[in-house]
Structures are given as C-alpha cells and as structure tokens.
Amino acid sequence: MTAEMRPRNPFIAALLSFFFLGLGQVYNGKGALGIAFFIIYGALYVIWALSGWPRRFTGFVALIIAATVFWLFNIVHAFIQARRIRETRLKRYQTIPVYAFFLILSFLSSFIPVRIWISPLGVSPYKIATTAMMPTLHEGDLIMADLKAYKGQAPERGDLVVFDYPPDPTKQFVKRVVAIEGDSIEIKAKQVFIDGEPLQESYKFLMDPSIDNSRDNYGPLRVPAGQCFVLGDNRDNSMDSRYWGTLPLTNIIGQASYIYWAKDKKRIGLAPK
C-alpha cells in the first residue's frame, strides 16, 4: 500500500527545529539530514570541550556565537526545505508520537542545571552573592570558574579560588588565597604578614578605620599541608579563614577565570586579578 502524500508546513518545521535541532528536517522527511545536523551540533560541543577554548572569555563567546548561528541556520533551513517540498510521502518516523517524544525530551532537558551542561567544557558558572570580594568582584557578577586550573598543581598566593564552603559544602564561595601550606600567617591591625614579612595587597579594600580584635588580628598560624588560607578583598566585610579556619585544597573547585556578565557592562570579559 502506497503511503499518502501530506503537505509540509514551513512554520511547523521551523518550530520543531527551534525546540529540538534537526527535528524540522525529520518532519520534512529528511531523517538522515536531521540526524546529521544533531551530530554536527554535538561535535561542535565536543571540539570546544577538547580545545579548552571556553576557559577563556573569547573562546566562550566564540562558542556561543557558533552554536547560535548553527541553531538559527537549522531553523531557517527547515523552513525553506518545507516550502520547497510542499508535500511528501510520509515515512514511518513522520508521526506525532515521534515529534512528541523529542519535544518532551527537549522540555525535560531544560530542567538540567546549566552547570551540568557546561562543566564538560572545563568551566562552570557562579554568581557572586555578596560584597565580600569588592572591588575585584561585585555583588551580582556572573563569573566562570576554570575547573582545570588546579589539576596537578596547587593554588598560589593571590589566586581567586571558587570552593565548597567547609562549614556547608552545599554553598560555594570565592575568596583570595593569601597563604599556602607551610606559610606562617599573622594579621596585625588589618596588615597581613607571611613568614614575618608584610604582604603587599593592592586589591585589599578597607571601609572601617576602627580595629576589631576578632576581625583585624589573627594568628600566628602555620598553614597545614593540603590547606590554604583565604581572605575576602573587602577585608572588613568577609566571612573567610579568619572565622572558619584554613581551606582544604580538596574543597577547591577551580579558579575564577573571567566575568561573563555584570551590571556594569564595561566589566564583562574582565579576568579578575
């Protein structure tokens, strides 16, 4: 029995590709082409992941642009293809249940946290929730952490690290490493000393001229092996190692790499130092 001819609606084709890349081509009866589009899109993701480019702001932007352009091309292609075909002899896979399956799959995937999608690229997004790192990082800044920065090496003094908060590992903080294992750290009247020498901190921000003994004096303490000592740049308004102790290196997720979104658009793309 010969399958009946059915018209193809360009708008339906475009809409299907909007929600699931390649599905518009499947609707048009070009299943192999739809699968090819989907594989190419996935290959683009894998290539960027292996290259390490998203660990830099320019590489991340290039990925977003390339993915968006390819996605738009797929939508337009499905629309034009449907207009040219007009009608087609239906194949077994050109059914509503097939379209519904992929649309439901697309819908369910939207509930997967963005961090899970992005982490294979070697980066992970985080939002700065407090003013503790002012003026280096502002409240509301969206930053990308380099997940591979400390693979095989420990952080150095001055590094901005993203880590699981030791008292509550479900929370993530960003602080600056001021002392590494083996260092003797002491704080006297807001001045940090490492092995007896004053630490030069151009990034440090002080807003309270008064001296609070529990906040502005600390130690001396020898940083244990496998640990580091972290402080917020906004020294008078930061919950850091002065209050909860040294940070285990195993808690470190990565290094703050760049700001990918900020209220002040001039700061987008900056690598915090």
CATH number for the domain including 257? 2.10.109.10
Is 230 inside any structural domain? yes
| pLDDT above 70 (res 180) | yes
User: Which residues does residue 248 pair with via DSSP β-bridges, in sequence order?
Assistant: 227
Do 176 and 228 fall within a single domain? yes
User: Which residues does residue 114 pair with via DSSP β-bridges, in sequence order?
Assistant: none
- Structural domain tally of the chain? 2
Do 190 and 219 fall within a single domain? yes
Do 95 and 181 fall within a single domain? no
> Helix or strand or coil: residue 153?
coil
CB atoms within 10 A of CB 71: 15
Do 49 and 124 fall within a single domain? no
Is 31 inside any structural domain? yes
Do 218 and 236 fall within a single domain? yes
* H helix count then E strand count, the chain: 8, 13
| pLDDT above 70 (res 1) | no
Containing domain of residue 263, as a range? 120-267
Is 11 inside any structural domain? yes
The answer to whether the CB of 163 falls within 8 A of the CB of 173 is yes
Pairing status of strand 5-7 against strand 87-89: antiparallel
Is 273 inside any structural domain? no
CA distance 202 to 82: 61
Boundary of a domain, candidates 111, 131, 160 = 111
Boundary of a domain, candidates 78, 111, 144 = 111
Boundary of a domain, candidates 76, 111, 146 = 111
Do 128 and 105 fall within a single domain? no
The residue-averaged pLDDT of 140-156 equals 94
CA distance 25 to 12: 11
Angle at 228 between CA 240 and CA 155, to 5 degrees: 115
Looking at the chain, the whole-number percentage of residues with pLDDT higher than 70 is 99
Do 140 and 193 fall within a single domain? yes
The residue-averaged pLDDT of 245-249 equals 97
CA distance 141 to 260: 8
Express each pLDDT in 73-129 by its tens digit.
Answer: 999 999 999 999 877 888 888 889 999 999 998 888 888 787 787 888 889 999 999
Do 52 and 30 fall within a single domain? yes
Cβ burial of 181 (10 Å; 0-12, 13-18, 19+) is: middle
Q: Does the reported pTM lie above 0.95?
A: no
